[in-house]
Amino acid sequence: MHQAAITHPVLLERSRGSHSNRAVVHGLKQVFGVQDVSVLDAKDRVKADTEFVAPLKQATFVSIDGGRQWRLADAYLGTRVERELRNVLKRGGVIAGNSAGASILASYLVRGDRSFLRRIAVGLHAG
């Protein structure tokens, strides 16, 4: 099995509002041995449906930050961001998430919104 190199990591935010992502960006740089990590935070659906998505078009890895899953759903579901995330997977890329960022990948959100992937369940903070 061929494993694609992670050369264009992206950190997708929205769920926490304003917070420092310095440690996450530093960790992604170290793990993947890259100099740059694109950080995207649309703030609203209007921006999420613009060329704001450009870094996702070349992304090989996307990390979706944690916080509140409904903020992610409200900002990104049904937008160009969602379409580009699906394209990352079609290209053989990887999407991962932390807390709400993992939850948004599931088939069903507790709030009842649809989410990015189908037939997937995510259990958070168990044990």
Q: Which pLDDT score, from 0 to 100, does residue 43 have?
A: 75
Residues 16, 86, 44, 10, CA torsion sign: positive
Report the C-alpha gap between 91 and 6 in whole angstroms: 12
Those residues whose C-beta lies under 8 Å from the C-beta of residue 104, and which sit 6 or more positions away, are 64, 69, 72, 73, 76, 97, 115, 116
pLDDT tops 80 at residue 46:
yes
The Cα 41–Cα 10 span in angstroms is 11
User: Rounded to two decimals, what is the model's pTM?
Assistant: 0.79
In degrees rounded to 5, what are phi and psi of residue 9? Answer: -75, 145
- Give the pLDDT of residue 126: 52
What average pLDDT does range 73-101 have in this prediction?
A: 90
Other CB atoms within 10 A of residue 13 CB: 24
For the cut 60, the answer to whether the pLDDT of residue 87 exceeds it is yes
Report the top-level CATH class of 9-103: alpha beta
Answer for the pair 125, 93: CB distance below 8 angstroms, yes or no.
no
